[in-house]
Amino acid sequence: MRGPHNLWRLIRTGATFERTGAMKVVLEAMNAPPRIRLAARVLGWPFKWLGLKGDPALPPTTRAITALGPAYIKFGQILSTRPDVVGDEIAEQLRYLQDKLPPFPTAQAKRTIAEELDIAVDEVFSEFSEPVAAASIAQVHRARLAATGEAVAVKVLRPGIERAFRRDLDAFYLGAGLIEWLLPGTRRLRPNDVVAHFEGVVLAELDLRLEAASASEFAANTARDEGFSIPEPRWNLSARRVMTLDWAEGLPLGDNAALDAAGHDRAKLGARVLQLFLSHALRDGFFHADMHQGNMKVGASGEILAYDFGIMGAIDEYTRRVYAEILYGFIRRDYRRVAEVHFEAGYVPADRDIDAFARALRAVGEPIFGMDASRISMARLLSYLFEVTERFGMQTRTELILLQRTMVVVEGVARSLDPHINIWQVARPVVESYVRQHVGPHAAVRDLARTARVLGRFGPRLPQMVEAALIRQSQEEAPPETQSTFAPLGWIALGAVLVVVGVYLGTLI
């Protein structure tokens, strides 16, 4: 339930970071200004005793986040892929959050499976292991089907996880409201809309039937992708709180030592991860939106195995074209075109100076080119980009949140495999291929063909629809004494419809 009582949870969040020592560690890693460190210390110290103790065996940051609950753990998982933002030490600590959280008892998992699937677990599975991975929402067991002997992965939601997430989300809503109230300048970032978007993503992740559907669709989309594989869902052994997939055997993508020992080329793997993500986002408009190291393995032949499809991203074709043109402009260092695309898509208010915006984008993009990636401070780059968006009045685009967030995560994964990777050089062939196929004359012809097909479906009803629309418009706009005749705007509308019909007929000839 939302309300001021959630202020307690926000206070306890700060107090927990202070009590566990995470506040100091995080501020130092983020290179926070001295005045921010002082303010955090002054505000956090009086409430320190209210904070959660957490597991003393864990490092401070991990200890604080695990104590606070699943929503905080999700955020920590994102940061675990960004050593260039939070530092190598904290990023390494946060990798614990990906799949090494404390599990719940196997007996409880079996009870959930039996209740959800209405089966006798020991009869359906000839083997059923202790948890092999445990994350914020669910844990995974390796099992073997009694009927066929095939190995499968059985994912089971944590007990009470739905209520725990709801509690955290309510506190986030309060925090977003307080931020908008206390700092009006942040309203353009739409904190409440961002939390609402996160809520939708999380609630979908809490229904494993939807995850199984996502896995099935993703498998169909990527069936021809070389060097990429995902496990197929077993629908007869999946339900709301249980999901069964084929077992994915491989080395963890985050274990660089094991990858090196097996002879895998980490530079190629890093490039492949980035190119796969871009290909799925641009080509299909449907992509894995939680691509951290804990959700990927490397098979014996070097193929990337992805799993955990609880968070998937979807973007429409128009947005994909805009995103591709922005990336393509950066790759070509055509900052004027990048600025124009932002204005054309409505991302920047029309009353702003496009030339000034292009120069600001140049200051963001130029440091990336011709420089070893290990020398680029992504934290400073993101900070400057934030200043640019604020200066030009850009609002947060909630439809792009997952895309932007996943791009950050994927880049972090790629850099963990190859610290010297240049994201623009790796992205170029994928983006250029998309632009050639989907931006320009070929795309215009396809768009006209699709328009013709849509009009074709409504062809038999088109005369009645036009007549009804024109009569309605005439009655609404004409004076009472002339409602029986067409208004000038009615004739204009009729002309526009005739033009549309003409275009339609022209595409059929």
Higher pLDDT, 423 or 359: 359
Nearest to 249 by CA among 302, 291, 305: 305
> What stretch of H or E contains 251?
strand 251-252
Whether 75 has a pLDDT exceeding 80, the answer reads: no
The full set of domain ranges for the chain reads: 4-98, 102-135+137-247, 250-439, 442-508
Of 7-21, 285-299, 377-391, the range with the highest mean pLDDT is: 285-299
Name the E strands within 18-174: 125-134, 138-145, 151-157
Q: What is the pLDDT of residues 141-192, one digit of tens each?
A: 999 999 999 999 999 999 988 887 877 777 777 777 776 776 666 565 567 7
> pLDDT band at 347, cuts 50/70/90?
confident
- Give the catalytic positions in this structure: 290
Coil vs helix vs strand at 18: helix
Whether 116 has a pLDDT exceeding 70, the answer reads: yes
Coil vs helix vs strand at 56: coil
Of 237-246, 278-287, 391-400, 421-430, the range with the highest mean pLDDT is: 237-246
404 in Cβ contact with 194 (< 8 Å) = no
CA distance 410 to 270: 9
What pLDDT score does 382 carry? Answer: 54
322 in Cβ contact with 372 (< 8 Å) = no
At position 251, the amino acid (one-letter code) is: L
Higher pLDDT, 93 or 155: 155
pTM of the model: 0.69
Half-sphere exposure of 64 (CA within 13 A, CB side): 23
CA distances from 221 to 32, 88, 306, 418, 436 (A): 43, 35, 14, 28, 20
CA distance 140 to 215: 16
Q: How far apart are the first and last CA of the chain?
A: 60
Higher pLDDT, 424 or 42: 424
What pLDDT score does 485 carry? Answer: 46
359 in Cβ contact with 335 (< 8 Å) = yes
Whether 498 has a pLDDT exceeding 50, the answer reads: no
What pLDDT score does 273 carry? Answer: 93
**Token pair 């000034």: residue:** 356
CA distance 383 to 316: 29
What pLDDT score does 222 carry? Answer: 94
- The phi and psi torsions of 460 (rounded to 5 degrees) equal -60, -25
CA distance 389 to 82: 21
